[in-house]
Amino acid sequence: MPPAHAYAELVHRHGRLYRIRHAMAMLAWDRATLMPPGGVGARAAAEAELQLLARELRADPLVGEWLDAAAGEPLGDWEAANLREMRRDWLDARAVPARVVERRVIATASCELGWRRQRPANDWRAYLPAFREVVAICREEAGHLGDALGCSRYDALLQRFEPGINAARVAATFDELVSWLPALIATARSRGDTLPPLGTVAVDVQRQLARTLAARLGFDFDHGRLDESAHPFTGGVAEDVRITTRFSEEALLQGINSTIHETGHARYVAGLPPAWREQPVGAARSFGVHESQSLGLEMQLARTPAFCELLSSLLIDAVGERPAFAADALYARMTRVQPGAIRVHADEPSYPLHVIARFRIERALIEGDIAAADVPAMWDEQMARLLDLDTRGNHRDGCLQDIHWSKGAFGYFPSYTLGAIYAAQLFAALKSELGELDGCIRSGGFESIFAWLGARVWAQGSRFETDELLRRATGSALDAAPYRAHLLARYGHQA
Sign of CA dihedral 66, 70, 71, 72: positive
pLDDT tens, residue order, the chain (495 aa): 577 799 999 999 999 999 999 999 999 999 889 999 899 889 989 998 998 899 999 999 999 999 999 999 999 999 999 999 999 999 999 999 989 988 998 999 899 989 989 999 999 999 999 999 999 999 999 999 999 999 999 999 999 999 999 999 999 999 999 999 999 999 998 655 689 999 999 999 999 999 999 999 999 999 999 999 988 899 999 999 999 999 999 999 999 999 999 999 999 999 999 999 999 999 999 999 999 999 999 999 999 999 999 999 999 999 999 999 999 999 999 999 999 999 988 999 999 999 999 999 999 999 999 999 999 999 999 999 999 999 999 999 999 999 999 999 999 999 999 999 999 999 999 999 999 899 889 888 899 999 999 999 999 999 999 999 999 999 999 999 999 999 999 998 654
Of 47, 262, 298, 362, which residue is the catalytic one?
262
* Predicted local confidence at residue 37, as pLDDT: 87
Closest CA to 488 of 445, 419, 430, 428: 428
Q: Write down all domains in the chain, each with its CATH number in brackets.
A: 6-162 (no CATH), 173-491 (1.10.1370.30)
Are 315 and 303 in contact by the 8 Å Cβ rule? The answer is no
Q: Which amino acid is at 189?
A: R
* Predicted local confidence at residue 190, as pLDDT: 65
- Rounded to whole angstroms, how far apart are CA atoms 258 and 231? 10
> What pairing do the DSSP bridges indicate for beta strands 240-245 and 234-237?
antiparallel
Measure Cα distances from 180 to 157, 336, 346 in Å.
28, 18, 18
- Rounded to whole angstroms, how far apart are CA atoms 480 and 352? 12
* Predicted local confidence at residue 347, as pLDDT: 94
Q: Counting runs of H as helices and runs of E as strands, what totals does the chain give? A: 21, 3
| Burial of 120 (C-beta count, 10 Å sphere; 0-12/13-18/19+) | exposed
Backbone angles phi, psi at 243, to 5 degrees: -120, 150
Beta bridge partners of 243: 226, 234
* Predicted local confidence at residue 191, as pLDDT: 58
Closest CA to 436 of 271, 268, 300, 331: 300
Beta bridge partners of 236: 241
* Known catalytic residue at 262: yes
Q: Which amino acid is at 313?
A: S
